[in-house]
Structure 1
Amino acid sequence: MALHIVNISDMKLSADREDVIVTYSLGSCLGVTVYDPKAGIGAMVHCLLPHAGAARDKARANPYMFVNTGVAMMVRKLMDRGAEKRRIIFKAAGGANMRGDNLFNTGARNFEALDKLLDRNSVTLSASNVGGTIPRTMFLHLDTGRVVVRSLGEEKDI
Structure 2
Amino acid sequence: MADVLKIGIAEWKQTTAPNRLRTAGLGSCVGVILYDTRLQLAAMAHVMLPDSTIARKNQTIEVGKYADTAIDALVHSLKREGATRLQAKMAGGAQMFQFKYENEAMRIGERNAEAIRQALKVHRIPLVAEDCGGHNGRTIEFDVATSVLSIRTVSVGTKEL
Higher helix share: 1
Aligned residue in 1 for 2:3: 2
Aligned residue in 2 for 1:76: 76
- How far apart, in 2, do the equivalents of 1:57 and 1:132 lie? 35
Q: Which runs of 5+ in 2 are unaligned?
A: none
- Shift in Å at residue 54 of structure 1? 3.8
Tell me the matched-pair count: 154
- How far apart, in 2, do the equivalents of 1:121 and 1:44 lie? 16
Please state if 1:11 is matched with 2:17. Answer: no
Q: Which runs of 5+ in 1 are unaligned?
A: none
Aligned residue in 1 for 2:92: 94
TM-score (norm 2): 0.89
Identity fraction in percent:
29
- Shift in Å at residue 30 of structure 1? 0.8
Please state if 1:107 is matched with 2:122. Answer: no
- Shift in Å at residue 120 of structure 1? 2.4
- Shift in Å at residue 119 of structure 1? 2.0
- Shift in Å at residue 122 of structure 1? 2.6
2:71–2:120 contact (8 Å) kept in structure 1: no
SS of the residue corresponding to residue 140 of structure 2 reads strand
Please state if 1:136 is matched with 2:138. Answer: yes
- How far apart, in 2, do the equivalents of 1:105 and 1:81 lie? 35
SS of the residue corresponding to residue 113 of structure 1 reads helix
Please state if 1:151 is matched with 2:153. Answer: yes
TM-score (norm 1): 0.91
- How far apart, in 2, do the equivalents of 1:123 and 1:40 lie? 16
**What amino acid is aligned across from residue 137 of structure 1 in structure 2?**
T
SS of the residue corresponding to residue 94 of structure 2 reads coil
Query: Which whole-Å deviations, capped at 9, do the CAs of 1:12-51 have from their partners, x for residues lacking one?
Result: 1102x12111000100001101110111111110010000
- Aligned-residue Cα RMSD (Å) equals 1.5
Find runs of 4+ consecutive structure 1 residues off by over 4 angstroms. none
